Structure 1
Amino acid sequence: MLTHRTPLLLLLTLVAFSAMAPFGHALAGGPCIVETSIVDDRKFKADICLPNPNGPDFEMGFDLEFHLDPENPGSLVNLTVPCVGFSVEVMDAAAIADVESRLPDPANQSIDPALPLRVTIEPPVACGLEFEDDYDAEFDADNLVWNPQSPYRLMKAPIGGSYRNITAQVDAGSVRARGCGGTFSEFVLVVDQLQDYASETVAAFADLGITIGNAAIGPTASTTLGNDRSVSQSAFAAGNYAEAIARLDDMDAHCGALGGPALPNRWRSARDLENLEGEVVSRSGHLKFLLGRLNGDP
Structure 2
Amino acid sequence: MKLTAMKFRSIACAIIGFVLLATQTHAQVVSPASITIDDNRIKAKLALSLLTEVDLTLEFENSIGLNTDSIEITAELIDPTDISIVSRLPSTLTNAIAGFPVLVSISPKADAGFGFEGPAMVELYTKAVHYDPAVPLRLFTSHDNGTFEDITTLTSSGSFRARGSTGRFSDFIILLDTRSPAAIINNKVNDLRNTLTANQYSVDAALYTALDASVSNIAHAVSGLDYAAAMVIVDHAISLAENANGAQLPNVWRSSGDIVNVQGELLTQLKTLRYSLRIL
| Alignment map for 1:279-298 (pairs within 5 Å) | 279-294=265-280
- Tell me if the contact between 2:186 and 2:222 (Cα under 8 Å) persists in the aligned partners: no
Distance 1:82 1:155 in 2: 26
Q: Secondary structure at the match of 2:108?
A: coil
> How high is the sequence identity, in percent, across the aligned residues?
27
Distance 1:101 1:7 in 2: 17
Whether 1:91 and 2:90 are equivalent positions in the alignment is: no
RMSD over equivalenced CA pairs, Å: 2.1
- Tell me if the contact between 1:102 and 1:161 (Cα under 8 Å) persists in the aligned partners: yes
Whether 1:271 and 2:257 are equivalent positions in the alignment is: yes
TM-score, length basis structure 2:
0.84
Whether 1:62 and 2:63 are equivalent positions in the alignment is: no
Distance 1:217 1:263 in 2: 5
| Alignment map for 1:227-266 (pairs within 5 Å) | 227-266=213-252
TM-score, length basis structure 1:
0.79
**How much does 1:128 deviate?**
0.8
CA displacement, residues 53-76 of structure 1 (integer Å, 9 cap, x when unaligned)? xxx5202211111103xxxxxxx1
Distance 2:227 2:233 in 1: 10
Whether 1:46 and 2:44 are equivalent positions in the alignment is: yes
Distance 1:42 1:208 in 2: 27
- Read off the aligned partner of 2:243 and give its amino acid letter: A
Q: Secondary structure at the match of 1:177?
A: strand
**How much does 1:135 deviate?**
0.4
Q: Secondary structure at the match of 2:125?
A: strand
Distance 1:118 1:237 in 2: 34
**How much does 1:237 deviate?**
3.7
> Which consecutive unaligned segments of at least 5 residues does structure 1 have?
17-33, 69-75
Residue of structure 2 in register with 1:180 after alignment: 165
**How much does 1:206 deviate?**
1.7
Residue of structure 2 in register with 1:145 after alignment: 130
CA displacement, residues 246-272 of structure 1 (integer Å, 9 cap, x when unaligned)? 321221121122231221110001111
Q: Secondary structure at the match of 2:129?
A: coil
> Which consecutive unaligned segments of at least 5 residues does structure 2 have?
1-24
Match of 2:69 among 68, 71, 82: 82
Distance 2:138 2:154 in 1: 9
How many residue pairs end up in the alignment? 254
CA displacement, residues 30-71 of structure 1 (integer Å, 9 cap, x when unaligned)? xxxx211113x11111122221xxxx5202211111103xxx
Match of 2:212 among 223, 226, 245: 226
Residue of structure 1 in register with 2:35 after alignment: 36
- Tell me if the contact between 2:221 and 2:229 (Cα under 8 Å) persists in the aligned partners: yes
Distance 1:102 1:197 in 2: 20
| Alignment map for 1:116-127 (pairs within 5 Å) | 116-127=101-112
**How much does 1:186 deviate?**
0.7
**How much does 1:238 deviate?**
4.1
Residue of structure 1 in register with 2:90 after alignment: 104
